[in-house]
Chains A and B, each alone.
Chain A
Amino acid sequence: MRWYAGVARRTRVSPPHRSGVPAKLGGVLRYDGLMMGPVSLGVTALILYAAAEAFSIMHLRSNEPAQGSTATVFLLVGFLVHLVALQSGALAAKSVPYGDLSASMSFFAWMVAATYGILLLRHREGSTGPFLIPISILFLGASLLTHQEHVAVANPKLSGPLFAFHVTMAILGYAALSLSFVLAQLYLIQNRQLRRRNLGLLFSRLPALDVLSRLHRTSVAIGVTALTVASVLGLIWAKQHWGTYWDPKVLFTFLIIAIYLITLFPGKIGWGGKRVAFLSMVGFMLLMFSYTIVNLFITQEHVFR
């Protein structure tokens, strides 16, 4: 439990002026004399997400509407608390939270919750919650574990609204496509259960294949749009600062976008169902490749420092 002790220590001990949060924010969020810094807010959001997950698992088992609504409320409150946490972190760093890996993971987790919220609103289908909310929990948790006491000073070169939007959109794209990765797997699971006549509780509670397709489609649409906007903004920024459009990452991103576009319009090539789900997973593998290997070894411009 070392990490936990670490988190707790930081939350309790660090005096407001050292946690790097401006005093005016401290005034707003003072609670029983205890300063709610980004970390304690983050921990609160994490607990709320965990509660949302617990209730959505219960809902999956029991099919009780009240439990589904409770899960949604916990998720919403968690989402808002998380927003405040990000906000206070951002105020401290005076920029969108992408300055370091920890902050960007938290931002990613928030975007995942946001995309899941959009899916819930659009399709009124909460039974995928137990499989999607954990992504937020995982990344917010990882962010809190790797949290650095001192705030990384934003590189003056990497600032300005254009760059901030580029990063924000890219993170939203990654978040939405991560959800579609899980949804594609759920599609394949449901497809397999139908074929093997393995009709257990999971079968009866997971949505129908066409619903999973629609959920997948919406999240891919969000992801592709965000990724495209991010690429365009990135290209404009690169032209301004480097004088060239060229970055090997561009190539990969366009390939990824092309693959996901096929999953949005599979009928054009006579594909559907299972193949689309597989293709979506291939797209995600490439995305992960681009995020890790390409960033680390091929181009030096996308490394978090």
Chain B
Amino acid sequence: MSSSVGSPLLLLGWDYRRTPVELRERLAFPPDKVREALSAMQREGLLAEGVIISTCNRSEIYGVTGAALSGALSDRDPFDAVTDFIARFHGIPRSEMDASGYRFSGGEAVRHLLRVAAGLESMAFGEDQIIGQVREAFRLASGVGATRSVLHRLFQKALETGKRVRSETGLNTRPTSMPGVAIELAQKIYEDLTPRNFLILGAGETAAIFFDLLLARGAKNIEVVNRTLARSQELCRREGRALPWDELATRLPHADIVVSATSSATPVIPLETARQAMALRRGKPLFFLDLGVPRNVDPRVAELDNAFLYAVDDLQEIAERNRQERQKEIGPALEILEEELQEFLSWFGSLAVVPTVTSLRKKFEGIRESDFDRQLEKMTHISEGDREKIRLMAQSMVRSLLRHPTEAIKDEPDPGRRLDRAEAVRHLFDLDLDSKE
């Protein structure tokens, strides 16, 4: 494909949708590799600017093509050249990389980045984490001087779009995963979970997932009760306290949040146990998260005052409802995205040689007409013929003044540097976007 021709802005990517995880792992760039790769690509003249986004779900390279790939000097396809570089860099065969990657250039590349930043490309649709990862990728690239006028502006736009989509639509307001729903519910009873007492019943896979999740959320006091003490001790190797099973009833009143994930066939928390615990808690709410199938907590516990009981089915139902809510927000999110995309593209388009040179000329001519010619009209002591000569002199002076800057932009072979020059001229002479018509 030579989709590259035209725009100097390109994107090569491999994500969870199109690329198997084994390849994604090999394509991952830890921070020092990001720096190394960007510097090398700049050195080789492949990219004038570059940013690498590398998360567990995607590796993406955004770039502005460098001197070595511009039309006049080379007939290499920029995508192929960059892919070759990555293949060499990671030691992966080209054929494997081509099979599952995607390539976009120009506006399509921009749209993709905005979608990524908005969370529309994420596995957990609309999630928040990605915006931090995009910001970090940009920071890394800036650190090695790999972002200049174009990618700087592009990533600012992406972060802004991500923010707007999140604040102006309900795309990411509600969790859609079971653990996410559980945490949201718990936080509506106890806003700050860190100082709360957690009691986990069971030490199997589900219990372990929640144990890690709670630790990651900063929980400090976690107790784990399991029928075989050895397994709960194993879970609590580094954090938490493993307790024997018969302490369940005595520890229950001290817990603010109970996560139950045992494989017991009968409820491990019968109504009476819960009732006694609630009485000892003197009105403090207790949140039961029953992840057991069959249920670990007697369903009637939900009717006790200040006891809140949620089972797997409840969580699934809430998660599903939230997913449906999110789908409704895609339309408004896309509207914001297109708006920001158009704004970026109109700026980016103005950086092309013709519009820049045109508006620069217009600016100079404008000054000549409005300031110089008008003053000249007032100088009636000079004869009409002399004034005409002076007018022509001024016109020719403006042309001379413009000649060098115009050529410097037009004749620059490196597209990245050409864009930089255009941007500098726009900035220095205050050529705003709407002056181009």
- Which residue of B has the minimal Cβ distance to A67? B167
| A62 lies within 8 A of chain B by Cβ | yes
Q: How far is the CB of B187 from chain A (nearest CB, A)?
A: 6
Contact partner of A270 (CB less than 8 A), chosen from B185, B279, B318, is B279
Q: Which residues of the partner chain B approach A201 to less than 8 Å between Cβ atoms? A: 170, 173
Contact partner of B191 (CB less than 8 A), chosen from A204, A211, A270, A275, is A211
Query: Given A62-B167, A63-B167, A197-B317 in contact, is the A272-B285 Cβ separation under 8 Å?
Result: yes
Query: Given A194-B308, A273-B285 in contact, is the A207-B191 Cβ separation under 8 Å?
Result: yes
Render B174-195 as a binary contact track against A, CB cut-off 8 A, 1 for contact.
1000000000110111110000
| A204 pairs with B167, CB closer than 8 A | no
Q: Which residues of the partner chain A approach B317 to less than 8 Å between Cβ atoms? A: 197
Residues from 314 to 331 in B contacting A, C-beta threshold 8 Å? 314, 317-318, 321
| A266 lies within 8 A of chain B by Cβ | yes
Residues from 160 to 199 in A contacting B, C-beta threshold 8 Å? 190, 194-195, 197, 199
| A301 lies within 8 A of chain B by Cβ | no
> How distant is the Cα of A199 from the Cα of B321 in the complex, in angstroms?
9
Residues from 23 to 57 in B contacting A, C-beta threshold 8 Å? none
| A249 lies within 8 A of chain B by Cβ | no
Q: Which residues of the partner chain B approach A209 to less than 8 Å between Cβ atoms? A: 188-190, 285
Query: Given A62-B167, A63-B167, A204-B173 in contact, is the A276-B314 Cβ separation under 8 Å?
Result: no
Residues from 186 to 236 in A contacting B, C-beta threshold 8 Å? 190, 194-195, 197, 199, 201, 203-204, 206-211
| B191 pairs with A208, CB closer than 8 A | yes
Q: How far is the CB of B80 from chain A (nearest CB, A)?
A: 45
> How distant is the Cα of A194 from the Cα of B281 in the complex, in angstroms?
19
> How distant is the Cα of A273 from the Cα of B306 in the complex, in angstroms?
6
Render B156-172 as a binary contact track against A, CB cut-off 8 A, 1 for contact.
00000000000110100
| B282 lies within 8 A of chain A by Cβ | yes
Q: Which residues of the partner chain A approach B187 to less than 8 Å between Cβ atoms? A: 208
| B189 pairs with A208, CB closer than 8 A | yes
Residue tally, chain B, CB below 8 Å to A: 27
If over half of A's interface residues share one DSSP class (helix, strand or loop), that class is named, otherwise mixed; here it is helix
| B305 pairs with A274, CB closer than 8 A | yes
- Which residue of B has the minimal Cβ distance to A61? B170
Residue tally, chain A, CB below 8 Å to B: 26
Contact partner of A210 (CB less than 8 A), chosen from B184, B189, B282, B314, is B189
| A267 lies within 8 A of chain B by Cβ | yes
Contact partner of A267 (CB less than 8 A), chosen from B188, B191, B283, is B283
Q: How far is the CB of A91 from chain B (nearest CB, A)?
A: 45
> How distant is the Cα of A273 from the Cα of B317 in the complex, in angstroms?
26
Q: Which residues of the partner chain A approach B282 to less than 8 Å between Cβ atoms? A: 266-267, 270-272
Query: Given A63-B167, A194-B308, A195-B302 in contact, is the A272-B283 Cβ separation under 8 Å?
Result: yes
> How distant is the Cα of A195 from the Cα of B318 in the complex, in angstroms?
13
> How distant is the Cα of A190 from the Cα of B354 in the complex, in angstroms?
61
Render A272-302 as a binary contact track against B, CB cut-off 8 A, 1 for contact.
1111100000000000000000000000000
Q: How far is the CB of A225 from chain B (nearest CB, A)?
A: 23
- Which residue of A has the minimal Cβ distance to B185? A194
Contact partner of B318 (CB less than 8 A), chosen from A197, A208, A273, A275, is A197
- Which residue of A has the minimal Cβ distance to B184? A204
| B284 lies within 8 A of chain A by Cβ | yes
Q: Which residues of the partner chain A approach B168 to less than 8 Å between Cβ atoms? A: 62
Q: Which residues of the partner chain A approach B310 to less than 8 Å between Cβ atoms? A: 197
- Which residue of B has the minimal Cβ distance to A194? B308
Most interface-central of B173, B306, B317 (chain A CB within 10 A): B306
Q: How far is the CB of B409 from chain A (nearest CB, A)?
A: 40
Q: How far is the CB of B387 from chain A (nearest CB, A)?
A: 52
- Which residue of A has the minimal Cβ distance to B163? A64
- Which residue of A has the minimal Cβ distance to B191? A208
| B283 pairs with A210, CB closer than 8 A | no
> How distant is the Cα of A276 from the Cα of B282 in the complex, in angstroms?
11
| A273 pairs with B191, CB closer than 8 A | no
| B285 pairs with A275, CB closer than 8 A | no
| A276 pairs with B283, CB closer than 8 A | yes
| B305 pairs with A194, CB closer than 8 A | no
Query: Given A272-B306, A275-B305 in contact, is the A266-B188 Cβ separation under 8 Å?
Result: no
Render A21-38 as a binary contact track against B, CB cut-off 8 A, 1 for contact.
000000000000000000
- Which residue of B has the minimal Cβ distance to A274? B305
| B283 pairs with A195, CB closer than 8 A | no
> How distant is the Cα of A215 from the Cα of B97 in the complex, in angstroms?
58
Q: Which residues of the partner chain A approach B185 to less than 8 Å between Cβ atoms? A: 194, 199
> How distant is the Cα of A197 from the Cα of B185 in the complex, in angstroms?
10
| B174 pairs with A210, CB closer than 8 A | no
> How distant is the Cα of A210 from the Cα of B173 in the complex, in angstroms?
21
- Which residue of B has the minimal Cβ distance to A206? B188
| B283 pairs with A275, CB closer than 8 A | yes
Q: How far is the CB of A71 from chain B (nearest CB, A)?
A: 16
> How distant is the Cα of A274 from the Cα of B188 in the complex, in angstroms?
15
- Which residue of B has the minimal Cβ distance to A62? B167
Q: Which residues of the partner chain A approach B306 to less than 8 Å between Cβ atoms? A: 272-274
Query: Given A208-B191, A210-B190, A210-B191 in contact, is the A64-B283 Cβ separation under 8 Å?
Result: no
Q: Which residues of the partner chain B approach A272 to less than 8 Å between Cβ atoms? A: 281-285, 306
11 pairs across A/B with beta carbons < 8 Å?
A62-B167, A64-B167, A199-B185, A201-B173, A203-B188, A208-B188, A209-B189, A267-B283, A270-B279, A272-B284, A275-B283
What are the 3 closest A-B residue pairs judged by CB atoms, nearest first?
Answer: A272-B283, A208-B191, A273-B306
Beyond known contacts A194-B188, A201-B173, A203-B188: 15 more, CB 8 A cutoff:
A62-B167, A63-B167, A64-B167, A204-B173, A204-B174, A204-B184, A208-B187, A208-B189, A209-B188, A270-B282, A272-B282, A272-B306, A273-B284, A275-B283, A276-B283
Q: Give the A-binding residues of B (Cβ under 8 A).
A: 167-168, 170, 173-174, 184-185, 187-191, 279, 281-285, 302, 305-306, 308, 310, 314, 317-318, 321
